[in-house]
Every structure is written in structure tokens, then in C-alpha cells.
């Protein structure tokens, strides 16, 4: 019997053609590492860095380790920021695990946004979600990443519509880098997009002083262990900062003072940085900010070496 006369064989061939067709029309706005593999790998970073970037999605999107390493020669930098992340006890403990304990330049850089001090962010976030994934699933994802990417379930109707009707396509492009950075660019930026969300968020989920104090106490411990602790406020927009200052419940300048009293070093990153949605930074601005951040860290280290600070 000819294979082509066999119904099962024809069905398998048709299925393979359809899978290939769907894979080829998949929107190309997400590139780099396969996204589940990206988060799983990041959540398991261990002993691999001299400098670790901490925080939520703002840090994950705002800081490029590669751009920092252009300034900080022979320094390993990774981005350990997670979407929706809060400064929970387990996350703060994990930061030291990411650092190479033998390094003489151990540094933790906190990108501090008020939402990171809320109870909601500390209890439900991507760090906790990906920490719970079994090692067996991580192995399968790593081994079959490209196949899983190609065959990942998707809404075919939306994919075809975005392909045929450009006005309906997703305009946010993101590239997921192995060092933990998410380079982002939106072809249709709207700087007021996130404002109402944050007002509602803080009205039902204000800053928790216990979480603030937990971070400050951990800063003291880091310093006792010889780890340099840096803090900065990831740039957003004036409107977003006003909303956070009014609704979050965090006295930001008071926090900066307490952070410094705990032994941390606070950096103020001046510059023209662009946020595509009022909260997250465009990739070009992220590269500029990362170089500025690295320059200020380098200047601080040099000052300490000379006994100036």
C-alpha cells in the first residue's frame, strides 16, 4: 500500500505542515532566549557574578550587564530582576547566592521602586514562581528550547490578524539576553499607559514598612560581609514619580537617608532617559543608563581605593 493512500500517514503529514505554518506566522516581537528558559535560568543563577542587579521589571529592563561591563573591566555582571518582584526574605538571601563568594568586588545593586515594598509584590512574583519549578522541567526546557519555542501554543486568529492587519499587531519588541537583561522597544510608546494602574495598585496594596526595614537590615548584613551595596531609583517619568510619591506610602527621600545610614551607597542617575509606557525604559536609554551606573560605581570604588570616601 502506498503511504499516500494511508489515512494516518496523510493526517500526520497535514499536521506537520500545519505546525510548520503556524510556527512561521508566529509574531516575531519576542527574540533571544526562549522565554521560559530565560526565567528558569535566571532563577537558578549561582556563584557567577561580581555584580548582581536586583529589583522588579524596571531593573530587569533598565540595566544591561553587557553595557556595564564595557565600563567595568574584568567584572562579571548579571541582571537578577524579576517581573512583579518584591524584596522578600528569600529573594534577598538568593542575591548572595548569585555572587561569586571568592570575588573581591562583590556588589549588589538595588533598583528601588516603591512597589517592591508592597506585600503583594513580596508574596506573588516571577522569582517565587520560577523557584518552584522542578529541576526535571528545567532540564527539558533547556534541552528542547528551540522545539518548544516553535511549537508553543498560540492564538492563530490573533497571529494571522497581526500579520495581515498591521494596526492590530503588538508593537512591543523584547529581546531576552542570557545575562538577565530584557531589551525592550515599543513602536507605539504611550507614557501615560501605566499611570492609572499604579494608582489602583497602591490604593489596595501600599508600601509595607516591615518589608522596607527587612531590606535595610539586610543591607547592614551585606556590609558586614564585605559586600558593597548600591541603590538607585530606575528612571520613569515625572508623572509616575508623582503618583508613587503620593499614593505608595513611601517617603522616598527618607528611605534614601535610611539606606545610606544602613551602609548603602545611593546613586542619582541624571540624564535624558525614555520610558515607553511610563514605567519601563526603552532599550537605548537602558544602555545609556547602564553605562552611567557602571561609571558611578567605578568612580566610587576608585574613591574608596584612594581613601577619599
pLDDT digits (tens, 9 = 90+) for 133-173: 888 887 777 776 566 665 565 544 444 444 444 444 578 99
Q: Is the pLDDT of residue 192 over 50?
A: yes
Of 85, 31, 96, nearest to 60 (Cα)? 85
Query: How high is the pLDDT of residue 9?
Result: 45
Q: Is the pLDDT of residue 40 over 80?
A: yes
Question: CATH class for domain 3-305?
Answer: alpha beta
Q: Where are the domains of the chain?
A: 3-305
**Confidence band, pLDDT 50/70/90 cuts, at residue 226:** very high
**Confidence band, pLDDT 50/70/90 cuts, at residue 214:** very high
Q: Is the pLDDT of residue 66 over 50?
A: yes
* Cα separation values, 286 from 95, 113, 144, 272, Å: 22, 16, 31, 11
Query: How high is the pLDDT of residue 5?
Result: 57
Query: How high is the pLDDT of residue 16?
Result: 44
Residue 178 CB contacts under 8 Å (≥ 6 apart), including other chains: 32, 33, 38, 41
Of 156, 206, 115, 211, nearest to 22 (Cα)? 156
Q: Which of 145-149, 178-182, 266-270 has the lowest mean pLDDT?
A: 145-149
Query: How high is the pLDDT of residue 25?
Result: 44
**Confidence band, pLDDT 50/70/90 cuts, at residue 4:** low
Q: Average pLDDT of 282-299? A: 97
Q: In whole numbers, what is the pLDDT of the chain averaged over residues?
A: 86
Handedness of CA 142, 70, 232, 197 (dihedral sign): negative
Q: Is the pLDDT of residue 174 over 80?
A: yes
Amino acid at each position: 500500500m502506498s503511504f499516500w493512500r494511508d489515512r494516518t500517514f496523510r493526517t500526520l503529514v497535514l499536521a506537520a505542515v500545519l505546525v510548520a505554518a503556524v510556527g512561521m506566522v508566529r509574531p516575531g516581537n519576542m527574540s533571544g532566549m526562549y522565554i521560559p528558559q530565560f526565567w528558569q535560568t535566571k532563577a537558578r543563577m549561582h556563584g557567577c557574578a561580581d555584580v548582581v542587579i536586583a529589583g522588579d521589571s524596571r531593573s530587569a529592563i533598565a540595566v544591561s550587564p553587557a553595557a556595564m561591563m564595557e565600563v567595568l573591566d574584568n567584572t562579571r555582571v548579571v541582571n537578577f530582576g524579576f517581573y512583579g518582584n518584591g524584596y522578600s526574605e528569600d529573594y534577598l538571601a538568593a542575591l548572595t547566592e548569585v555572587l561569586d563568594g571568592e570575588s573581591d568586588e562583590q556588589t549588589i545593586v538595588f533598583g528601588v521602586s516603591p512597589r517592591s515594598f508592597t506585600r503583594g509584590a513580596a508574596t506573588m512574583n516571577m522569582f517565587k514562581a520560577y523557584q518552584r519549578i522542578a529541576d526535571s522541567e528545567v532540564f527539558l526546557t533547556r534541552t528542547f528550547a528551540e522545539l518548544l519555542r516553535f511549537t508553543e501554543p498560540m492564538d492563530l486568529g490573533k497571529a494571522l490578524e497581526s500579520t495581515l492587519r498591521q494596526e492590530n499587531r503588538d508593537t512591543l519588541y523584547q529581546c531576552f539576553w542570557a545575562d538577565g537583561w530584557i531589551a525592550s522597544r515599543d513602536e507605539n510608546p504611550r507614557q501615560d499607559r501605566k499611570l492609572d494602574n499604579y494608582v489602583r495598585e497602591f490604593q489596595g496594596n501600599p508600601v509595607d514598612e516591615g518589608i522596607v526595614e527587612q531590606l535595610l537590615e539586610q543591607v547592614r548584613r551585606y556590609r558586614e560581609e564585605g559586600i558593597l551595596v548600591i541603590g538607585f531609583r530606575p528612571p520613569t517619568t515625572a508623572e509616575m514619580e508623582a503618583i508613587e510619591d503620593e499614593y505608595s506610602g513611601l517617603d522616598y527621600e527618607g528611605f534614601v537617608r535610611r539606606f545610606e545610614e544602613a551602609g548603602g551607597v545611593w546613586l542619582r542617575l541624571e540624564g535624558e532617559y525614555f520610558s515607553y509606557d511610563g514605567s519601563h525604559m526603552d532599550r537605548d536609554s537602558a544602555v545609556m543608563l547602564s553605562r552611567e551606573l557602571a561609571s558611578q560605581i567605578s568612580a566610587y570604588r576608585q574613591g574608596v581605593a584612594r581613601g577619599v570616601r
